Structure 1
Amino acid sequence: MKRLMLDILACPIDKHYPLELFELQSKDEIEEGALYCQECGRYYPIIDGIPVMLPDELRERKRDTDFLSKWQGKLPDKVLRQGNPWHL
């Protein structure tokens, strides 16, 4: 994901802008990371350079839990333990 995308991305649920970026792996672009909405507490993983910004009902539990497990040492508690979607 190019850093310029941060200027246009907003939370798809409540339209909050800007989203907080937690960069986990990058080269020229952000390869792995998380976007966090401070308004509703939802996080959106960035996987293979693509921000996965789906509504709760369309998110895949396994993909999200795998992402959280992989990066649990680098993500803050507000994403790991308090982040939405709540059904994970």
Structure 2
Amino acid sequence: MKKENLCLFVCPVCRGELTVKPEIENADKTEIISGNLYCPACLIYYPVENKIPNLLPPDMRDF
């Protein structure tokens, strides 16, 4: 997921702004390979795996 695209995503629960908490970034730090998107209003984390954010609400995710 490219960091520049973060402004396109909102929390699917409250429509609030998401922040990024990267775990693995590419060399020039413009792309998130693994990490989380976080909604401070809902206190919910949305995982990013293999550059793909999973924006399903927590009760709809398969673990």
Deviations along 1:10-40, one digit per CA (max 9) or x if unpaired, are 10010001x1211100115210010110001
Structure 1 stretches (4+) deviating beyond 3 angstroms? none
What TM-score, normalized by structure 1, do the two folds share?
0.63
The AA in structure 2 aligned to 1:25 is I
Q: Report deviation, 1:5.
A: 1.4
Please state which structure has a larger fraction of its residues in helix.
Answer: 1
- Which blocks of at least 5 consecutive residues in structure 1 are unaligned? 62-88
Distance 1:57 1:41 in 2: 14
1:47 aligned residue (46, 49, 58): 49
Aligned length, in residue pairs: 60
Q: More relative contact order in 1 or in 2 (CA 8 Å, sep 6+)?
A: 2
- Which blocks of at least 5 consecutive residues in structure 2 are unaligned? none
What TM-score, normalized by structure 2, do the two folds share?
0.86
Deviations along 1:30-85, one digit per CA (max 9) or x if unpaired, are 10010110001110000000000002332012xxxxxxxxxxxxxxxxxxxxxxxx
Give the aligned CA root-mean-square deviation in angstroms. Answer: 1.1
